[in-house]
Structure 1
Amino acid sequence: MPVTALIADDEAPLREQLRMRLAEAWPELYIVGEAANGMEALALAAKHKPDIAFLDIRMPGMGGIDAARQLYDRCHIVFVTAYDQYALDAFEQGAIDYLLKPVTPARLQTTCERVRKRLTQAPQDIGAQLAELGTLLKQGGAAAKPDYLRWIQAQVGGSLRMVSTREILFFQAEDKYTCVQTATTQLLIRKTLKELADELDPDEFWRIHRSTLVRVDAIAEVTRDLRGRQMLRLRSFAGELEVSRNHAHLFQQM
């Protein structure tokens, strides 16, 4: 029988990114469904009875910890979270595993190997661990993900257009303006790249050049040109973006 899993995260691009990376790290793993909150995760679990649940901790309505309290005796739990690592380190060797956003291929591979070993055992009683973790986070033992910029306002003619940051592939500085590139259009805004870098989620947008911020999950491929420069190819965009030497560490495997 194939090993099955569900993914719960309130942000669809992050669910898709995790699904894609799981397909690379564990090709035999079958994803039975995706949920946007804890209640949806519980419904999927009741229907499909997955072996593993990948749960975001912070979701609207029912979060990952509350969902895990009802699932831990039925499947193995892996938290996928933006909470600070130091507050979760204590659980790394226990029955709970976790992945920090942005999820790296190496860390995901480690988690997959751990879960494979645990699949030969029955899910453990981790109720006490969940209670401790919930208390720790509520008391501020880990910093919650702050509220980052989610919408960009762009003047188009005589109207104001609202663009979700989830639609944006990259930002690029152009003189006194900043170019906003989506899969279908290009807009100019009067906000500097430095202001955007301070307001955007650093887990979602990386600075790859002094003049460029790129959405991480839009990156399809990293290559080198004839001059040895790292170049990014993005999904839904025909051109390439250069990675400066100062930011080459973001792609250390290249």
Structure 2
Amino acid sequence: MTATGPTMIQALIFDVFGTCVDWRNSVAREVAAVLPQVDALAFATAWRAEYDPAMARIRDGARGYVPLDDLHLENLDTVCRAFGVTLEAPDRLNAAWEKLEPWPDVVGGLQLLRQERIIAPCSNGSIALMTRLARYAGLPWDCILGAELARDYKPQAAVYRVSCAALRLPPDQVMMVAAHNDDLLAARAAGLRTAFVPRLTEHGPDQATDLEPTGDWDIVAKDFADLAHQVAGHG
């Protein structure tokens, strides 16, 4: 392994929604509790579908930076109108994004990785959202990095680079971990190392995307325990 390979990795930063936590079933659980009259999984899926278009307007410069908490709330209003429902306390349901269940391998895998490396989220979620989610899900981060530091959204290069800069590490000593190939493609373009961990049911049993790596990523792992094993094996 060369000096620029995984032997030099000092920190791993993680996509969170989908890679670390099961947003679909977790949000649907909260929807079912508040809006029992709707198809909770369909509502959760529709809410998530507003996520990227809302961020795109900010990435494209059509709107200044708005934290994801506020975008989620705006998107919730859009989805409620589409489903023909009214919420008396939308903030209560919006907090669903702070109560997402981790995939079974995540907490243990992160604990293994943290023994030797710095670990942190590099998410589009705000610092407040990521902090509360970490407390709920038991995610043992060393710190919170990501979009709010850059005041922009992935896959903009600034989000990855600012996260590395906050750790005072060059990008080639930081590994981005994600279940989404497009996230890794952008991270690699920003100079980071990359690790792919598939989440084959993030979008449900009929998922058709990100079932396998589409790039020559530095590590491809079956789960976070395997990721920790492979990272340890390189130094």
Relative to the length of structure 2, the TM-score reads 0.30
Structure with greater proportional strand content: 1
The answer to which structure, 1 or 2, has the higher relative contact order (CA under 8 A, 6+ apart) is 2
Relative to the length of structure 1, the TM-score reads 0.28
